[in-house]
A = this chain, B = another copy of it.
Amino acid sequence: MRKGAETRERILDQAVRLASRDGLEGLTIGTLSTELGLSKSGLFAHFGSKDELQLQVLQATVQRFEETVIHPALSAPRGEPRIRAVFENWLAWENNPSMPGGCLLIAAAVEFDDRPGPQRDFLQEAHRRRFAFVAKAARMAVETGHFRPDLDVEQFSFDVTAIALGYHHLHRMLRDPKADARARATFERLMADAKACAFTR
């Protein structure tokens, strides 16, 4: 019971690594087990099905995202500092060494957005929560007076998401070394707009 949880974590760790490169469907029990020095059936017994393995991989990834991006940002002061913390942590997350093939949440979203099932349901919920978190942080920034009162906080959340996706694309597909600078430039423009009072706009 103790040992099982340990190896299960080892399995999930490597599974996240593999899935980030080959996708959740490209993730294979055979290659995963041999890379870990386990037998196929031994590994399989931990999950009972590939669907369950995929789900647990997604759950582990979301948990890491929250630990890496969300929670640290919560210890930053409300308002602009927290917004900036989320953005910086998010950019860093995209280069997290536990996902050498790039953010698994983005890859899985594209892979499963048209395949009904528990994987898609879970991903939808996770992305929705993340979207709402950024919107809430923006709402707080309005309340603290850092952002203008008439800011559409959900539109702001969409804009931040778009920047992250654009960064992922430029960084991973085009391998553009300017990806970081481009994302930051757009973010600063977004921040300036969110802060500008209605008269100067």
Contact = CB atoms under 8 A, between A and B. Distances in A.
B186 A170 contact: no
Interface string A15-30: 0000011110110000
B182 A189 contact: no
Contacts of A101: 113-114
A151 to B, nearest CB: 12
A20 B165 CA distance: 19
Interface in A119-137: 123-124, 127-128, 131
Interface of A: 20-23, 25-26, 100-102, 106-107, 109-111, 113-115, 123-124, 127-128, 131, 152, 154-155, 158-159, 161-163, 165-167, 169-170, 172-175, 182, 185-186, 189, 193
